[in-house]
Amino acid sequence: MAGKRDKPEGIVLKLRQVEVLQGQGNSIADAVRQIGVTQPTYFRWSKEYGGMSRDQLKRLKELEAENTRLRCAVSDLTLDKMILAEAARGNF
């Protein structure tokens, strides 16, 4: 059975909730249980999104989208260059 996927914005909010609960004196295990995730999930999230604000998260998403677009452009140009090089050699 597949579980639900949390969005990055929700993950950042849950990490903040754990910080607040820890500040109130709860242990990490209790705080993680209260937000409804497992400890390995919490530690994976904190490694990936720890200390990140919503603005930083938005910027990260924009940079990932731009990176994907640029990779696609580079691969297209590389393919075009390879095709032109082969045509120039006369091996068609």
**Are 69 and 44 in the same domain?**
no
**Are 43 and 61 in the same domain?**
no
Question: Tell me, what CATH number does 22's domain have?
Answer: 1.10.10
**C-beta separation of 36 from 21 below 8 A:** no
User: What integer pLDDT is reported at residue 55 of this predicted model?
Assistant: 85
Q: For residue range 35-77, what is the model confidence (pLDDT) as tens digits?
A: 999 999 999 999 988 888 888 888 988 999 999 999 999 999 9
pTM: 0.63
**C-beta separation of 49 from 41 below 8 A:** no
Domain count for the chain, please give it: 2
pLDDT band at 27 (very low <50, low <70, confident <90, very high): very high
- Host domain of residue 77: 53-92
The torsion region of residue 22 among left (phi > 0), alpha (psi -120 to 50) and beta comes to: alpha
Q: For residue range 76-89, what is the model confidence (pLDDT) as tens digits?
A: 999 999 999 988 88
**Are 32 and 68 in the same domain?**
no
| Cα–Cα dist 22/17, whole Å | 9
